[in-house]
Structure 1
Amino acid sequence: MFIAITGPTGVGKTTLASRLAARLDATLMLDPFADNPYLPQLYVEAERATDDLALKVELTFIALRVAQLRQIEMITSAGGRVVADWAMVQQHIFASKTLPAADAGRVAQTCGIWSKDSPSPDVLIGLTAPPSTLLHRVRQRGRDMEIAVSEANLAALNDAFQRTFTSDVIQRDGSTFDALNDEDLNELIAQLTGSENP
């Protein structure tokens, strides 16, 4: 089984993925944002970032995520479970917010090409939250590169994610769902596994 969690910055993807992976005896795959050398500069420059810099960020993310998808395929092919705190769908969303429309379209096409031979999540969990909640969490975790993130940026991201979530996505509101609360987590695991006693 391959479970992926997606949603805007600060919504709690990593916290939920970590807890699910531990409970489901699954391999945890974390978003490789720390391996993208261009991302800190993009965050710092924010509104002044060049199209070239944004393109480097997005193309680097594609390469990093495709490499992880190959690892995920090896694990699931051997019968293992994987929980990831990202999904390829967010590649399109972030590209649409940082790139001109033509380049964002090319990124989407590139993702489509690579996705044909890559595993898709068996379950996609979509998290959203009010922008004020997202901003509070981003500030609370204190990453230097996220200092320039604004509530308006987070609101646009949150709206974009909400528009992409289809009926087959398991959705949770990050302002009321608490991944650190055992009752909330048990309810979600029961939905994932079809079990009443996770």
Structure 2
Amino acid sequence: MARKKFIAIAGNIGAGKTELTSFLCRKYDLTPFFEPNEQNPYLADFYADMKTWAFRSQLFFLTTKFRLQRQLERSPGTALQDRTLYEDAEIFAKNLYRQRYIDKRDWGLYSDLYETFSQTLAPPDLMIYLRCPVRTLRQRIRLRGREMEQDIPPTYLKRLNGLYEEWFSGYKLSPVLVLPTDKLDYVTDLVDRVDLLRQIEKHL
């Protein structure tokens, strides 16, 4: 991994992105770029009232993630990003639009911005998709204890999982490594860990 690379980790809420990002950064001495959840001033309001705050919350994520990816492109060494701009648009914002939490006019503006931003960015060298069933997602969300996430309905997580599958069925920007994180224990299981690292190194 001597030459600079860009690795992206994609997955639903609670799929294990932050854990895998931290693990790979320790293993390979990579530079991590984490999801800016704590910086989003709309997020708590969004979870309380999705229709009122959906567009503003997603616009914050889109613009912040664009700046983050530009920063990532300028950073030395291989960089690892926990959720990309592509997911914000293709999964989360699209879901809110389909649920009519974002109206057609705002969706048109958002889509134009996304298209403009994505055309100026270099795609990942490897996209790691963490596939995880809703039951496991809900268990992990409960365990990590973020208050604003505790009342997320299972139907919302199920719709997001469906959009992830839909998106990856047509994703062509980079090679994709799919990991079933409900069955994978790379932290304590040596066989799983060796297999995971072998697959990542093969792609890179």
Alignment gaps of 5+ in structure 1? none
Question: Could you list the per-position Cα deviations for residues 77-131 of structure 1 after superposition, in whole angstroms to 9, with x for gaps in the alignment?
Answer: x4x0111111222112100122336334542331221122223211001112111
**1:1-198 paired onto structure 2 within 5 Å:** 1-45=5-49, 49-51=50-52, 53-75=53-75, 78=76, 80-92=77-89, 93-99=91-97, 100=102, 102=104, 103-166=106-169, 168-181=175-188, 182-194=190-202
CA distance in 2, matches of 1:185, 1:40: 36
CA distance in structure 1 between the aligned counterparts of 2:193 and 2:109, rounded to whole angstroms = 38
CA distance in structure 2 between the aligned counterparts of 1:41 and 1:186, rounded to whole angstroms: 42
- Residue by residue, what CA displacement relative to the aligned partner does 1:134-155 show, whole Å, maximum 9, x if unpaired? 0111111110111220111111
CA contact under 8 A between 2:95 and 2:163: conserved in structure 1?
no
Cα distance in 1 for residues equivalent to 2:112 and 2:141: 30
Stretches (4+) displaced over 4 A: none
Question: Which amino acid is 1:25 matched to?
Answer: D
> What SS does the corresponding residue of 1:116 show, helix, strand or coil?
helix
Aligned length: 188
Give 3-state SS (helix, strand or coil) of 2:120's partner: coil
d(CA) in 1 for partners of 2:40, 2:107: 18
Work out the CA distance in 2 between the residues paired with 1:56 and 1:179: 37
TM-score, normalised by the number of residues in structure 2: 0.85
**1:180 aligns to what SS in structure 2?**
coil
Per the normalisation by structure 1, the TM-score is 0.87
Segment of structure 1 superposing worse, 167-176 or 90-99: 167-176
Letter matched to residue 118 of structure 1: L
Q: Which structure 2 segments of 5+ residues have no match?
A: none
Q: CA deviation at 1:186?
A: 2.5
User: Residue 165 of structure 1: CA displacement?
Assistant: 1.3
Provide the rounded CA distance (Å) in 2 between the counterparts of 1:150 and 1:97.
14
SS across alignment from 2:83: coil
Deviation at 1:194, TM superposition (A): 2.3
